[in-house]
Structures are given as structure tokens and as C-alpha cells.
Amino acid sequence: MLRATLKGLLGHKLRLALTVLAIMLGTGLIAGSYVFTDTLDRVFSDLFSESFAGIDAQVTSDVNDELASFTFPERLPESLVDDITTLEEVEVAVGTVAGLVTLIDPNGEALGGFGPPTIGTSWSDAASPLTVREGAAPTNDRDLVIDSSSARRLEIEIGDEVGVIALGTPERFRVVGTIGLGGSSNFGGATFVAITYETAQRLFDAEGNVDTISVVGAGDISPEALVAAVEAIAPENTSVVDAATAAEQQLSGFKEALDFVNTFLLAFGYVSLFVGGFLIFNTFQVIVVQRTQELALMRAIGATKRQVRRMVLAESVIVSVIGSIFGVVFGVVLAIGIRAAFSRFGGEIPATTPQIQTRTVLISMASGILVTLFSALVPAYRASAVPPIAALRQVMARPSERLFRIVSTVGTIVSTLGAGVIAAGLFLDPPDQIPRAAFVGVGAALLFIGLAVLSAAFARPLGRTLGAPIRVAFGAVGRLATENAVRNPGRTAVTSAALMIGVALMVFVTILASSLEATTNQLIEDTFKTDLVVQPIGFGGAGLSPLIADEIEALPEIELVTRTRQGPMLVEGDVEFISAAELSKLTEAIDIEVIEGDLSTVGIDEIAISEDAAGDLDVRIADSLDVEFARTGEQRLIVAAIYEEAGPAGDFYLDLESYKQNFVEDFDQSLFVRFDRSFDTSAAREAVETVLDDFPGATSLDQSEFADQAITGIRGFVGLVYALLALALVIAFVGIVNTLLLSVIERTREIGLLRAVGATRRQIRRMVTWESVIIAVYGALLGSAVGIVLARALVEALDTDQIVFRLPIVQVVIAVALAMVAGVVAAIYPAQRASRLNVLEAIAYE
Amino acid sequence: MIPAIRAEQATKVYGSGPTEVRALDGVTVSFEQGRFSAIMGPSGSGKSTLLHCIAGLDDLTSGKVCIGDQDLGLLNDRELTLLRRTRVGFVFQAFNLVPTLSARENITLPLDIAGSSVDPQWFDRVIDVLEIGDRLGHRPSELSGGQQQRVAVARALASRPDVIFADEPSGNLDSKSGAQLLDFLRLAVDEFHQTIVMVTHDPLAAGYSDRAVFLEDGQIVDDMPGPTPEAVFDRIKTLEV
């Protein structure tokens, strides 16, 4: 049987080529997700282990692990460094001061911008992983060294002047050297600058304190013994860990984020493969039909049903193995593409050798093989159902009324089930072990399969309706195209269903994005009561120096400045982000409706909380709420105000004074600025801009600029999602080419007849093209409808009247128009092939 | 009068060197207008090749074929297609009809493709003669073999072509339906003065024609006016021995 299988495969090379392509594209994104995240994992594992090179142990303030990756811990007293140094187990101990900075070029422009942060640290010759690459180490308070890859990227050379902003105004430094991390120059994409210890303490406002203490043990003391010795003299709330543990701790937070990215990317990989499954199904269905006589002959000469079934399944396995192998290779290429996409969206990601792990290959291939096998299951059973007698006569099965009823019933049941599972995931409380997303994912898969089946039942009438204008415009050719599009309703349905899925997800995301944009605009319009917002440029740099608010406040043109800050805290074990502001002035700056209590009098040990959060945490006004801060540990706060959640206000508010006590960070996140009405608006803004000229890391935005910035962020993310969904659409597109090609091969004789009775090549091409357009538009329309319904359901499920549901009519029209174009393009090769058919061969009988 | 079809030294060679096959070897023949001609010959004699070449479906290696006064060798693919559409009708042995179209749509297909309209009187007369008036709304799969072939004849007649080429038109039918179909072809010649050229290996079919041309190894070996099945049968026996 194996020989027959192989012969069968070779006999259908062309027919299977596109199937291999589909499997390759689908598994490619799965492999690509793993390769991308494994590669990043590798980059950062190296980075974190390098960052502890030459150090045996590290001392920091004890911070809850959950909070550690979002904030800085409390500083340690400098005296502890001396205490540790005096231990006989210790050879050397070095205190380090570090923080986020913004680099400024000689023209006063901020360098870097969006992307990984710029980190400033104190330089030490001993107990430090940093090594000088070129030039010298910093020796006086004007010296600075920068990591060599950033120097290259930012075109900074030794001898150049750069400005650094930490907490105050920019200070000028002279670049005296470049540094590396141990032997490598991999800082994970971050920019690293080092200055002398004293300068760092001054710059980060840390006189008498250090952030971390790096310890090198004396002789060949074991890390455990060293840690124990240091721990013995360390004060309470101090964490002493050996270097390996410290590296692992740093990596674990990062790995969590990486896992999330991986899951996100994999979701799109599985969507692509799922879409590919439809194409595979079609291919095998067609191959089985075309080989009816051959299969019947095998049965006639003694092959069992089981053997025939296995032959088809074996074919599918071989095809999927080939496709998956290509897929893994393609995945490596995709990983590079994903890196580029993320770089555009989130900043530079360091390049390294792509990591291809055994697990990646196994999972990609297993996914490809399983999806293919599953898709070939129905065709295999169909093949085994071919009776031996079919070898002797042409059996043309015609879809019966009964089949129609079965198809519609099965389709209805499966799609209803899918919709039900989605609804359960969205509206009910699923059991804790299963995430809502799993419900929605499985439900959506069922819904799509159900709709594909169901649409087979309606492909005929709907396809004819779509074809009506084509009949009118193109007469006989239009009629032939329409009838061809609906003559195999199952095949058309499955082909267009693949497109339906891609379009549905695209429309879904588009609706959510445009709703989110509308909501954002609305919120900003509703809550933004001031004239300007001052914000730091980019994500990765430092915040705003508190001096900015001070200087703007001092301007005569300004009536009001409200500063806000942000930070993490633990509430009932979860990390929540808390906002802080000068609460007495907050209601002046943004529209925030207080339901109970008084926002403006929230004190040091008090907290304001949104109505939603209060409900979730089951606290009322004057109740106490236990929270944990990275700096100060567990704190009991009294709920002093409850407000309606709105826009920029998060779920929790602290007064600025309380924030200053509980957080190490001493910079502002955003400033709300209101002009004095007796001054001209542009003059007032001019005055603010003049202040900001001294702080290149800050920028001012008016209401519409602020909204634009928020929307640019949404659009960037949507762009990334589009790029990932594009693969599923490409596969659906290949599916259309596949179906057309298979149909053209199947209809060789009919096309020959049309040519014989006078159809021109051009008419044949047109016929195939319009068939393609009908299939594509059918899929796009179904997809748009499903996408709209799903988006509506999600908005309902979010159960908030704050989201403005926006029907993107223009986008749906564009989707359908693009589908038409895709249909035309998909038809190019099949139509060409059809029009080039040799008439004589097509009509030969013997 | 110009003959409907004229072939001069028509030669068709497949392959080259030792595998060379001369399917047509210098055939010169004319088919008169308004007559029913049969091309006879055993398998491999070149009769189908001759039909394909004089119908503009295949090109010659050398020689010349004219339909009316039109030299087919001077036409490109598109012009040949338009010629087939307007001046030629076909009836094949099987698979004559487009399965997705009704009988009526199949009959008017060449006209529809050409974008020209059907002469309703002519259409009615054709379907009346062929007795398929009650089957027009049916799909080919709902018609018997004989009905399908009659629909094919109606399609060939619908555009009033200069000539209809029939390739074993009764070859796939039982004897009764086959005889009926040949009667209709005869009727088309007698009633409508339609020129028909038919390829067949069946002496009974040839008996319906006005003239039988015999082919062997790509060359014309005999030309029999007013053939009877018996005479044709005898002639074939000598050919095949």
C-alpha cells in the first residue's frame, strides 16, 4: 500500500503543492513564535548571567517579587557597604547607584525615545560586570562611559559631549570611553551609561545611600557561606542572594512577559493553521473524487476499506511532514520578521543567532501533522466508501435534499454550540483553572467550523444572488462563472470559510480598535479640563523631573499645574497600578465624579478608589484596605473617597505626599496645566515650551495632540495584529487559488468544449476570474458579519457603558472590495491555465 | 459553387525522427455545401485528425484548409475561435453539454458567448424538428443519452453555421437512439440544407450520408457516393485486412 500511496502523491504534485504551502505557512508562524521568544530568552539569559559576572552575591532591599519588575526598592545605607567589607568572608563589596536617565545630544534633542530604557549607573572598577572597551573609565564628575553598541547606534564617539537628565536639569558630560558587559556588548537593547559613584549619588538624589551592594567573597568561600555571613550583619528587610539566584530572579519576571508574547503569537499561528485545515480538506476531497475510479479499482482487486482509508491518511501525513519541515525553516525567517515588527512597535530588539529548539520543531510538526490528519479524515472516509463497482462506471453523486437537511442541521448545531461556548466564556464566570480566552478560542473554532458547514447549505442561493449582477453584465460568461461557483457548494463554502475566518478576525479587531479610538476620544474630551498635558517622551526614559512642574507653576501665564505619578502595589495578592496626584487639585484638572467622601481631603494613610474596584474588593467608604508597596511593605489604608471610574483616572488614587512616602521614584508622570485666561493661549503655551526647552525629555500636548498620541498607540498595536492576521489571509487566498486550480483541472473537458464552441481564451479567463470573485466576496461578507457579531458580543460582555460601539462601515466596504481584488488576483494563474488548455486534449475521449 | 470545406495536401506530422507519425499524409478533399458527408476509416487512420484540422481545432504541419473562402492557416487563435463560434457547429461523441446549464442555455451557448441573440423562429423550428421542446428546462444530467445528443445537435444548428462537424455522434448511444439521432442529422440536411461532415467507423451511420470518404494511414483511399451500409461494410473489410 505504501508504494501506491507514494505513487498517488507523485501523481498529484501540483494539486498538493499548495497544500504543502498552506501547511508551511501555518506551522511557520508557530515555529516562528517559539524561535522569536526562545531567541529573546537567550539574549536576556545571557544578559542577566553576564550582569553578575565577577560577583558572588548581591544585597538589596527586600521587595515583593511581584512588584520588583515594576519599581525600585528602598535604598540601602552606604554604611552597610563598609560593614560588609569588614567581614573576613568578604574580599570586596561595592555599592551601586542606578536609575533611569534621558540622554541628550549636543543640540538639546533627546536620544533614544521609544523602546528599551536608558539606564544610568555608578562606575566601579571592582565587583562589577562592566568592562571598558575603548577609552577609559570615568574618573571625575564630568566623565561618562556608554555601552559600545548604543554608542554606535546613537553615533556617539569618545570625546563627544552628551547631556544626561535624571531628576533635575540636564547635566553635561564628556564621553571618555565605551563599555561592555563582561565580554559581550549585549545589554538587551537598553542603553547603559556609567558615571562616577559620587556623581551618580548626586544625580539620583541618593547621597549616603546605594541601590545595590555587589559582594565578592574572600578566597574560595562558597556562595552559601558568603550569603550567610552577609545576612548575619544585614539589617531587616534586606535581601542577600548569591549571583546565580539574583540572575534567575531578574530573568523570571522577564520570562513571564516572554511567555505572554509567545502565547499571543502562537494564537495567530494556530489561527493560520486552522485556516490551512480548510484548504487541506478541500484538496483531499477533490483528489478523492478525481480518483474515484482508481480507488474503486483498488477495492475491486481486494483492498479493504481500511487500507484505502489508510492510503489517503498516509498521503496526508507525508504531505504534512514535508509542509511542516518547510514550516520550521519558514519560522526562522518569520522570527526575524516578527523581530522587525516588534522593533517598529516597541523598540530595538538585539539580534542574535536564532534559537531553534527541539521542542519548537516537535510542536510545529505535531501541529501541522495533526491538523492535516484531522482535515483529511472526512475525505479518507469518503474514499473508503467508494464501492468497487464504481471502477466500472462513472458514478456522479448528486447532492440530495436529505444531504442538504443533514448539512444544515449539523451546521446549525455546531455553530450554535460554538456561539454558546463563546457566550459562556464572555458572560459567565468560568471555573478558575480555565481562562476565558480558552472558552472564546474553542467556541470561535466551533463557530467557524459550524458556519463553514452551514454556509455549504446556503452557498447555492447566496452565490447565485452575488452572481446576479455578473450575469447581467457578462451574459453567458457570467452565468457560467456563477454556476461554477455554486456547483460544488461544499467546496465553495470551505474555501470561502477560510477567508471568512481571516476577515472575521480582521473586522473584529478593526471594530474593537475603532470603538477604542472613539472611546478614547470621548473620554479625553469628557475628562480633559486643562489646556496642556506635559509628558515624558517615550516609554523607556525617565519620568518628568519635579523641577518642571515647579518651573511651570512659577510662570505668570499659568493658573494651575497638577502633577500625577504612577506606581505598582499589591492588593489581595494582585499587582495593581495606583495613580498619585495632588488630590486637592485633581478635580480641577480632570473630570472625575466623586460618589462618596471627599477626594480633595484624602490624607497620608488614606486612599481613593473607583466604584468598580470597591465593588470587586468589597470595601466601602471608611473601610480599611491592606496593600503592599515595594518600598514600605504592607500598609493599611482607609478608603476616604469613592469615585466613578473615568479615563485617565485608574482604579486607585493616593495623595502625592503619601506616594512620596511609599515609593522610591521621585519624578512626575504627567502634568496637567491650565493657562491663566488673561493671557493669550499661544503665548501661554509658548511660555511652557520655553521651560521644556531645558528638559528635552519632556513634551507638551494639547487635548487633540494628547488624543492623537493615545490613538497612535492603539493603531500601532492594531497594525501588529493585522500583520499577524495577514498570514491567515494569505493562506485563505492560497485556498482560493487551490480550489480554482483543482476545479480547472477537474473541468478540463468542459473548458475544452466551451473553447470548441467558440469561447475565446479571454472569455475563459473571465469566467474563472468571476467564479473566484464570487467565492472571495462570499467569504468576505460572511466574515464581516461574523466579525461584527463577535465584536458586539465582546463589547456587551465588557459590560461598561463607556465603550462606544463603532460600526466600521467603511472598513467593511474596503474588506469586500479587497476581497474582490484578492479574488481577481487569485484567479490569475488558474485562469491562465484554463485559457491555455489544449482544446484537442480536452475533448479527446480515448 | 465554392465547396464548404476544402483541404489541399493537408499533412499533419506528430513527433520527429524515429517516433514520427504522419497522421495526415497529403490529403486533398472537398466537401460540398448542403450535403451530408462521412469520413470513414479504422482506428488510427487519421479520420479524427482530419476532422480536427478542417474544423479549425488543430493546425496542419503543411498544406492548406479552407472553410468557404477562408484559409484557416491565416488565422490566429482568436480569429479561429470567432470562426468556430459563428461558422462552425460541433457534435462530439460524448460530453457535449455544460453540466451547469439547462438544455436551453446549452443550445444558445455559442450565441450567448458571441453576445448575439437567438432567432426565436429558427430556435423553435430546430427544437421542434429535434423533439426536445419539453426538455429545455432540464439539466444535462436529467436527460437521457439520446436527448443529450439531440440537444447537442440543436446547439450546433442554432447559430446556422456553414458546416457542422460530428465526431462519432451516435458512438455512445444504444442502437435505437443512435438511429434516431442519425435520422435527425439527415433531416437537418434535407430540411435546412445544412452541411454536415461526420466522422464514424460505423457502416450503419455512414449509410445515412450522401458520400463516404475512406481514410487509411493518413491518406484517402476511396470516395464512395451514395453509400449503403452493406457497401461500406464490404469496403471496410478490405481496408482492415
Q: What is the pLDDT of residues A614-640, one digit of tens each?
A: 888 888 888 889 988 888 888 899 998
Q: What is the mean pLDDT of residues A814-830?
A: 90
Nearest to B100 among A487, A759, A763 (CB): A487
pLDDT tens digits along A649-676 = 678 888 988 988 888 777 888 888 988 8
Predicted local confidence at residue A765, as pLDDT: 93
Closest residue, chain A, to B43 (C-alpha):
A846
Do A772 and A827 form a contact (C-beta atoms < 8 A)? yes
Predicted local confidence at residue A490, as pLDDT: 84
Q: What is the ipTM of this complex?
A: 0.85
C-alpha distances in angstroms, A192 versus A113, A145, A775? 14, 8, 55
Interchain pair B96, A845: CB under 8 A: no
Residue A769 has pLDDT above 90, yes or no: yes
- Whats the size of chain A, residue-wise? 846
Mean pLDDT over each residue of chain B, to the nearest integer:
88
**CB contacts, 8 Å: A771 with chain B:** none
Strands of A72-199, DSSP E: 76-77, 90-96, 98-100, 102-104, 118-122, 130-135, 143-147, 161-165, 171-181, 191-195
Interchain pair A480, B101: CB under 8 A: yes
Closest residue, chain A, to B48 (C-alpha):
A844
**CB contacts, 8 Å: A398 with chain B:** 141
Percent of chain A with pLDDT over 90: 10
Predicted local confidence at residue A282, as pLDDT: 86
More confidently predicted of A406 and A282: A282
Residue A499 has pLDDT above 80, yes or no: yes
Place of cell 483528489: A287
Interacting residues of A640 by C-beta distance below 8 A, sequence separation 6+? A597, A598, A601, A602, A603, A606, A607, A608, A621, A622
Predicted local confidence at residue A167, as pLDDT: 73
The long-range contacts involving A207-210, CB below 8 angstroms and separated by at least 24 positions, are A208/A77, A208/A78, A209/A75, A209/A76, A209/A77, A209/A78, A209/A97, A210/A75, A210/A76, A210/A77, A210/A78, A210/A80, A210/A81, A210/A95, A210/A96, A210/A97
Among candidate residues A361, A476, A507, A255, the one with its CA nearest the CA of residue B107:
A476
At A352, the pLDDT band (50, 70, 90 cuts) reads low
pLDDT tens digits along B108-123 = 888 888 888 888 998 9
User: If interface means Cβ-Cβ distance under 8 Å, which residues of chain A face chain B?
Assistant: 396, 398, 475-477, 479-480, 483-484, 487, 749-750, 753-761, 763, 839-840, 843, 845
Predicted local confidence at residue A846, as pLDDT: 42
Closest residue, chain A, to B88 (C-alpha):
A757
Interchain pair A479, B155: CB under 8 A: no
Do A770 and A740 form a contact (C-beta atoms < 8 A)? no
Interchain pair A757, B110: CB under 8 A: yes
Residue A298 has pLDDT above 70, yes or no: yes
Q: How far apart are CA A492 and CA A507, in angstroms?
A: 21
For residue B131, how many other CB atoms are within 10 A of its CB? Answer: 12
Among candidate residues A218, A138, A185, A196, the one with its CA nearest the CA of residue A43:
A185
When scoring A393, A757, A774 by the number of chain B Cβ atoms within 10 A, the one with the most, hence best to mutate, is A757
Q: What is the mean pLDDT of residues A806-825?
A: 85
**CB contacts, 8 Å: A774 with chain B:** none
Interchain pair A476, B57: CB under 8 A: no
Would strands A118-122 and A594-597 be described as parallel, antiparallel, or unpaired?
Answer: unpaired
Closest residue, chain B, to A763 (C-alpha):
B113
- Point out which residues pair with A102 in neighbouring strands: A165
**CB contacts, 8 Å: B90 with chain A:** 756-757
**Residue A294 distance to chain B (closest CA, Å):** 21
Predicted local confidence at residue B210, as pLDDT: 93
Do B142 and B97 form a contact (C-beta atoms < 8 A)? no
Predicted local confidence at residue A803, as pLDDT: 67
Q: How far apart are CA A786 and CA A498, in angstroms?
A: 13
**CB contacts, 8 Å: A765 with chain B:** none
pLDDT tens digits along B15-44 = 888 888 888 998 999 999 999 999 998 888
At A357, the pLDDT band (50, 70, 90 cuts) reads confident
- Point out which residues pair with B64 in neighbouring strands: B8
Residue A19 cell numbers, joined? 497544500
For residue A369, how many other CB atoms are within 10 A of its CB? Answer: 20
Predicted local confidence at residue A776, as pLDDT: 92
**CB contacts, 8 Å: A756 with chain B:** 57, 84, 90, 92
**Residue B37 distance to chain A (closest CA, Å):** 21
Predicted local confidence at residue B35, as pLDDT: 92
Interacting residues of A669 by C-beta distance below 8 A, sequence separation 6+? A535, A536, A543, A544, A563, A564, A565, A566
Q: What is the mean pLDDT of residues A93-102?
A: 87
Q: What is the mean pLDDT of residues A218-233?
A: 87
Predicted local confidence at residue B154, as pLDDT: 92
Do A96 and A211 form a contact (C-beta atoms < 8 A)? yes
Residue A346 has pLDDT above 50, yes or no: no
Residue A401 has pLDDT above 70, yes or no: no
Q: How far apart are CA A750 and CA B97, in angstroms?
A: 8
pLDDT tens digits along B57-115 = 888 899 999 998 889 989 888 888 888 888 899 898 877 788 888 999 999 888 888 88
pLDDT tens digits along B193-239 = 999 999 998 889 999 999 999 998 888 888 888 888 888 888 888 87
**CB contacts, 8 Å: B93 with chain A:** 845
Structural domain B5-240, CATH architecture: 3-Layer(aba) Sandwich (3.40)
